Amino acid sequence: MSSTDVVEEYVQDERDPSRSPNVPITGLMVQYYHVCKRELWFMANGIDIDRETTNIQRGTHVDETSYGTSRRSFMIDNRIQLDILDSGDVMEVKVSSALEKPARMQLLFYLWYLREIHDIDKDGVLAYPTERKRESVVLDETTTAEVESTVRGVLDVVGRDSPPQLEKKPYCGTCLYQDLCWM
Ligand code: SF4
């Protein structure tokens, strides 16, 4: 089966109420895939940690009152939690732009999921209120390919029998798995 088929099969499993994907992908899984594939494997294979603490340490957690008056939260399929602004854009708020790529890919995955699974076309806004910074995020040919590559990658990593090889990451110091990896 080609790698394209993996994504097509995933979409079919998500769209068909009588089927469900073997690995229901979440925004957090997408984020972890771009932070550390080993961390994604631990998380998806039942080795659990206090994610809230990790996200606070990394600056990916954000105060829920940020932009509280202009956005509404939705839970899609009991798995995809996203915020919609009055403008209709999907907003992802982060404290710091230090982990810009994981945050951008998480938001792009939400936009892709809405379009591919629910036929809803949306644009996105990535916001860093403490830095007074906003970035528009849209699905085009390039970013769609990035998301689909990520979906393939997540399915590959999660399905492995053992975690990806240990490599030092810039994020190890803020990772609660560091005791497993480095001690
Ligand atoms: S400690 Fe480092 S290598 Fe281990 S899971 Fe965390 S980020 Fe990945």
Q: Count Cβ atoms within 10 A of the Cβ of residue 66 and give its class: 0-12 exposed, 13-18 middle, 19 or more buried.
A: middle
Binding residues: 36, 83, 92, 172, 175, 181
Pocket test residue of 28, 37, 39, 41 for ligand 1, highest count of atoms within 8 A of CB = 39
| Domain definitions of the chain by residue range | 25-178
pLDDT tens readout for residues 59-91: 555 555 555 557 788 899 988 988 888 889 999
Backbone angles phi, psi at 95, to 5 degrees: -75, -40
pTM for the structure as a whole:
0.87
For the annotated binding site for [4Fe-4S] cluster, the residues are: 36, 172, 175, 181
147-163 tens-digit pLDDT: 999 999 999 999 999 99
Pocket test for ligand 1, best of 45, 171, 176, 183 (most atoms within 8 A of CB): 171
